[in-house]
């Protein structure tokens, strides 16, 4: 399953940045090195799958745009040879991983998918969860 593609990367970051990230060894060709880009895309796509597989049946029928954006940030990070902690690329990667973790823990849904096409995977225990919260009825005045 491809969440992020070379075209999505070009639209998000521009051809110039992808040339800088992929054409970084001599002899410089001043074009996107698709071999390097494809390796980063494959890594990003498999990383996304690893977070979704426990919650959604794969492949997804509809890929939400925010998942493509997450994939772009993951692939961009994987293209970097040297990166420092406070680098914006590292920060966006961290945010993207957090979002994927939230999806895998059912704290965030994929949304935007037509009903029935990307439903959460049912658990075998089918437990009911009760949440203690505000009491609208009973008690004072009722």
Peptide bond into 27 cis (omega under 30): yes
Residue 85 is predicted with a pLDDT of 80
Q: Which residues of the chain carry a pLDDT beneath 70?
A: 112-142
Three-state secondary-structure class, residue 90: helix
CA distance 20 to 95: 23
Please identify which residue in the block is written with the tokens 């990166």.
Answer: 83
E strands along 2-141, which residues?
none
Residue 125 is predicted with a pLDDT of 55
Residue 140 is predicted with a pLDDT of 53
The pTM for the full model equals 0.77
């Amino acid at each position: 399953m491809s969440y992020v593609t070379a075209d999505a990367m070009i639209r998000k970051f521009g051809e110039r940045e992808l040339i800088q990230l992929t054409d970084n060894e001599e002899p410089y060709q001043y074009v996107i090195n698709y071999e390097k880009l494809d390796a980063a895309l494959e890594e990003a796509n498999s990383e996304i799958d690893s977070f979704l597989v426990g919650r959604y049946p794969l492949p997804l029928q509809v890929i939400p745009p925010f998942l493509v954006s997450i994939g772009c940030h993951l692939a961009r990070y994987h293209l970097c040879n040297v990166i420092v902690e406070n680098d914006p690329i590292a920060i966006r990667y961290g945010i993207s991983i957090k979002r994927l973790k939230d999806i895998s823990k059912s704290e965030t849904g994929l949304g935007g998918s037509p009903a029935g096409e990307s439903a959460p995977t049912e658990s075998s225990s089918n437990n009911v969860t009760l949440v203690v919260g505000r009491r609208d009825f009973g008690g004072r005045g009722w």
